[in-house]
A and B are shown apart, each in its own frame.
Chain A
């Protein structure tokens, strides 16, 4: 078993394939814990994990909290509304205070790219990036990879279609880095105003026409349109966006048999995803959520678990 190379999990871009496989394999072994009658193991007893959310989040924060608790760690949540941030304290001072209370892992969600790396390079605590602006959301990409691997056994040579606002999506970036590393082909789809410059240089293909892209995909990943964002210069209206890019039952008729529909949530029903598709037979959206807990358990275990004689975390 190889250990993770870095003390922090900041993104997928700098992870090796071995490290991704290690995390996914470890996560797979944790799935069973959550299916037990007593959903708890003592692995991280006595460890303190702080979920520090500078941005609102429901599922990611709860998923991390459940993951910590199922490993018997103490999980503390706090968000900007309850923190000293509103008093003008800097990010670095806030997290140094957390560390002074002997946190083992700080899970951070922040609106600015690089925020997780910023604190990771200044603290001894292990940092898990739970989303930094439009940069990365590595645990989401890992749970996406785990979910696809469960269904298709491999990521090698499959085609993943990612649809939506690629420019502003941290999920898209982490997914792109992860899928490409694992040998998948990636097609991006959305209006040109949602596609960042030079992205083809990462090794992805861009297709503006959703109908043309769907038949080529084994996996269709629909991104959430941030309806709260001001889009006036990027798209004329959500209605027009949905007209061209909503995944409807009619469009799903173009899909390959067995194609998988995924979504990082929360869904805007009727904008990017028709309810009949979200709840239909192709959808594995709730599997993603279930696997999210296992992936986060695996990461907490790999980063905070007591090292064994070989320097790797001790086995369960």
Chain B
């Protein structure tokens, strides 16, 4: 295994509250030393990280890799290549594959397929068999096979009793239940946020309360059973407030927000571009501002992309017929840098926490840290890389992004997963 020396980078690690410029020596997959340069051996690869930010490997805890079943959209390999290019050293993939990841055979298959992936792939198993919301999966079996958490993402667990039992049962393994909070009666046939824009466009709306009433119910249940509940893709101001109140009461609830909910509103749907269609839908400016505030103050723990690949032909249809979701692995970090860190809305420390330390803790895995003896999961960020988003240069198999043509500032420079270079912008970048 290659020996690496990372020289003169600015190391930012919230796990140790560290922000200093130093050198890092990596050998045998481990961080050997941090500090002033000891003379590197001749075989070692020297990485000049001057002007770069060196942070613990990023983690995206909400992606859809589509394998098994829809390898035409994405595979574990292409999705993890996209993750590496986006600066992630670990990703957690949702259970709504075909077949659903609801038994240990599928979990084992994903882990086996991830063996050749450049980054760590953490399977999230289903809460209920087939995502039908009727019967619990064999959670213990799934945990032993390697499931990192449980979620029926894409659909809410409608039966409150069943959610209660899932939260209780998962406590035995210390695992988190991730909920897609959407009251399906309230969202009905909606395809976008219900507000002035949906009124103008005549598209059926999804009211913000479709999320809020679901979150409120789930928080009540989590509080009662003292279970670990994680709210996926928070989209409304009211939900941010509900989570804030729950945390103040000591409920073990955590939450994530996507870059698209942070940086887009329902106004962009007026283009009828199907790459603005997702669930939950893009909300109002008021909601967007509350999401940013929630992320800044820690009410929202982490950023996750909800990377949802779809083929060109599936998205090149009338708005209401298009599937929900957009890809995000290769734009997430750059968007956050451009829109929040460079604008000084979010500190670099808090950004790293929300994209590395926090999601790992929610998944119950030891967060990467830049510390002697730790596994070398490191992301080196070039904060001054200017690049236009061109989906044709993505590693992902899919192209469904609303950010095409955006000029972003900052990108992954080098992604190191377990001491190996998973992505090197100098040689792997498909941006010329």
Residues of A within 8 A of B (CB): 13, 90-92, 110, 112-115, 117-118, 132-136, 168, 170, 173, 196-199, 201-202
Contact = CB atoms under 8 A, between A and B. Distances in A.
B344 interface: no
A136 B200 CA distance: 9
Nearest to A132: B202
Given A112-B318, A196-B199, 5 more contacts: A13-B200, A113-B201, A114-B318, A114-B319, A134-B202
Contacts of B199: 196-199, 202
Contact of A113 (B194, B196, B313, B319): B319
A133 B202 contact: yes
Q: Which among B194, B199, B313 has the greatest number of chain A C-beta atoms within 10 A?
A: B199
Contacts of A133: 202-203, 320
17 contacts: A13-B200, A90-B316, A112-B319, A112-B320, A113-B272, A113-B319, A114-B272, A118-B318, A133-B320, A170-B202, A197-B195, A198-B195, A198-B196, A198-B199, A199-B199, A201-B196, A202-B196
Contact of B203 (A135, A197, A199): A135
A201 B198 CA distance: 12
Contact of A118 (B195, B200, B272, B313): B272
A197 B202 contact: no
Nearest to A112: B318
B205, B313, B317, B318 interface centre (most CB from chain A within 10 Å): B318
B317 A197 contact: no
Given A113-B203, A114-B272, A135-B203, A196 B198 contact: yes
Interface centre among A114, A168, A196, A198, by most chain B C-beta atoms within 10 angstroms, is A114
B202 A92 contact: no
B321 interface: yes
Interface in B185-212: 194-196, 198-203, 205, 207
B315 to A, nearest CB: 11
A197 B196 CA distance: 7
Nearest to B313: A90
B202 A135 contact: yes
A178 to B, nearest CB: 14
B194 A173 contact: no
Given A112-B321, A197-B194, A197-B195, A92 B316 contact: yes
A91 B317 contact: yes
A175 B177 CA distance: 49
Interface string B303-338: 000000000010011111100000000000000000
Contacts of B203: 113-114, 133-135
A234 to B, nearest CB: 12
A113 B195 contact: no
A115 B318 contact: yes
Contacts of A170: 202
Contacts of B317: 90-92
| Most chain A CB neighbours (cut-off 10 Å) among B201, B202, B203, B272 | B202
The 8 nearest A-B residue pairs measured at CB = A114-B272, A134-B202, A135-B202, A196-B199, A198-B196, A112-B318, A113-B202, A114-B319
Contacts of A113: 201-203, 272, 319-320
B196 to A, nearest CB: 4
B207 to A, nearest CB: 8
A91 B318 contact: yes
Nearest to B203: A113
A198 B196 CA distance: 5
Contacts of B202: 113, 132-136, 168, 170, 173
B298 to A, nearest CB: 32
A133 B204 CA distance: 10
A110 B317 CA distance: 13
B201 to A, nearest CB: 5
A114 B201 contact: yes
A162 to B, nearest CB: 14
Could you say which of A112, A136, A168, A201 has the most chain B C-beta atoms within 10 Å of its C-beta?
A112
Contacts of A199: 196, 199
A180 to B, nearest CB: 12
Contacts of B316: 90, 92
Contacts of A90: 313, 316-317
A170 B200 CA distance: 10
A197 B206 CA distance: 11
A196 B317 CA distance: 26
A247 B252 CA distance: 57
A124 to B, nearest CB: 18
A173 B201 CA distance: 8
A135 B199 CA distance: 9
B205 A117 contact: no
A225 to B, nearest CB: 17
Nearest to B197: A198
A310 B91 CA distance: 60
Nearest to A117: B272
Nearest to A92: B316
Contacts of A115: 318
Contacts of A110: 318
Nearest to A177: B200
A117 B202 CA distance: 14
A136 B270 CA distance: 13
B261 to A, nearest CB: 20
B318 to A, nearest CB: 4
Contact of B200 (A132, A168, A202): A202
A132 B313 CA distance: 21
Given A113-B272, A135-B203, A197-B205, A118 B319 contact: yes
Contacts of A202: 196, 199-200
Interface in B263-295: 272
B197 to A, nearest CB: 9
A91 B203 CA distance: 19
Contacts of A173: 200, 202
Contacts of A196: 198-199, 205
Contacts of B196: 197-199, 201-202
Contacts of A136: 202
A60 to B, nearest CB: 17
A114 B203 CA distance: 9
